[in-house]
Structure 1
Amino acid sequence: MTVENKAPRFPAMPSTSPAGTFPAHTPAASQIFTTVLTHGPLTRQEAARRAGLSPAAVTKAVRPLIEAGFLVEDAGAEVRPAVGRPANPVRVDGGRALFAGLKATGDELIGVLTDLCCRIRVARRVPLPGRTPSEVLPVVADLVRELLTEAEGFGVRVLGLGIAVAGDVDRTAGTVRRSPFLDWRDVPLAGLAAEATGLPVTVDNDVRALTVAEQWFGDGVGLADFAVVTVGAGIGCGLVVHGRVVSGAHGVAGEIGHVPVVPDGPPCHCGDRGCLEAVASDAAITARVREVTGVPVVDAADALALARQGNAGARAVYARAGEAIGRGIATVANLLGPERVIISGEGLAAYDLFAGQIRDAFAAAAFGSAARCEIRTRPLPFEEWARGAAATAIQSFVGR
Structure 2
Amino acid sequence: MRPTPRVETFPANTPAVSQIFTTVLSQGPLTRLEVARRAGLSPAAVTKAVRPLIEAGYLVEDAAEEARPALGRPANPVRVDGGRALFIGVKVTGGELIGVLTDLCCRIRVARHVPLTDRTTEAVLPHLTELVHQLLAEAEDLGTPVLGLGVAVSGDVDRAEGVVRYSPFLDWRDVPFAELAAMTTGLPVTVENDVRALTVAEQWFGAGVGLSDFAVVTVGTGIGCGLVVHGRVIEGAHGVAGEIGHVTVDPAGPPCHCGNRGCVEAIAGEAAILRRIRETTGADVTDTAQAVELAHRGAAGAREAYARAGEAIGRGIATVANLLGPERVIISGEGLAAYDLFAEQIRGAFAAAAFGSAAQCDVQTRPLPFEEWARGAAATAIQSFITPDDPHPSR
What is the TM-score with the length of structure 1 in the denominator? 0.95
Deviation at 1:129, TM superposition (A): 2.9
User: 1:343 and 2:331 equivalent?
Assistant: yes
Alignment of 1:126 with 2:114, yes or no, is yes
- Residue 135 of structure 1 is matched in structure 2 by 123
What is the RMSD computed on CA atoms of the aligned residues?
1.4
Question: Residues 129 and 136 of structure 1 are in contact (CA less than 8 Å); yes or no, is this contact kept in structure 2?
Answer: no
For residue 334 of structure 1, the aligned residue among 309, 319, 322 is 322
Match of 1:105 among 79, 82, 93: 93
Query: Which residue does the alignment assign to 1:215?
Result: 203
Contact 1:112 1:383 in 2 (8 A): yes
CA-to-partner distance for each residue in 1:65-106, whole Å, 9 max, x for gaps? 000000001126458789855311000000000000000001
Change (3 A) 1:77 1:389: farther
SS of 1:159 mapped into structure 2: strand
Structure 1 contact 268–275 (Cα < 8 Å) conserved: yes
- Among 238, 254, 263, the alignment partner of 2:242 is 254
Mapping of residues 236-251 of structure 1, within 5 Å: 236-251=224-239
1:9 paired residue number: none
Aligned residues: 388
2:252 to 247, 264, 270: 264
Q: Distance in 2 between matches of 1:357 and 1:76?
A: 50
Shift of 1:27: 1.1
| Corresponding letter in the other structure for 2:3 | P
Identical amino acids, percent of aligned pairs: 77
Mapping of residues 1-400 of structure 1, within 5 Å: 13-15=2-4, 17-75=5-63, 77=65, 84-399=72-387, 400=393
Residue pair 2:20, 2:49 contacting (<8 A) in 1 also: yes
How has the CA–CA distance of structure 1 residues 356 and 231 changed in structure 2, closer, same or farther, with 3 Å as cutoff? same
SS in 1 for 2:135: helix
Maintained 8 Å contact 2:64/2:74: no
For 2:302, the aligned partner's letter is A
Q: Distance in 1 between matches of 2:89 and 2:288?
A: 27
Q: Which runs of 4+ in 1 moved over 2 A?
A: 76-86
TM normalised by structure 2 equals 0.96
Q: Say if 1:204 and 1:78 are closer, same or farther in 2 by CA, change over 3 A.
A: farther
Structure 2 residue runs of 5 or longer lacking an equivalent are: 388-392
Separation in 1, partners of 2:2, 2:377: 20
Q: Structure 1: which 5+ runs fail to align?
A: 1-11
Distance across 2 between alignment mates of 1:247 and 1:79: 47
Letter in 1 for 2:18: S
Contact 2:64 2:75 in 1 (8 A): no
Superposed CA deviations along residues 129-166 of structure 1, whole A, max 9, x for unmatched, are 31111100000100000000011121100000000000
Q: Helix, strand or coil: the match of 2:144?
A: coil
- Is the CA contact 1:79–1:89 (under 8 Å) kept in the aligned structure 2? no
Stretch moving more, 49-58 or 368-377: 49-58
Secondary structure class of the residue paired with 1:75 = coil
Sort the Cα spacing of 1:186 and 1:80 in 2 relative to 1 into closer, same or farther, 3 A: farther
The code of the aligned residue for 2:229 comes to V
Q: Which residue of 1 aligns with 2:390?
A: none
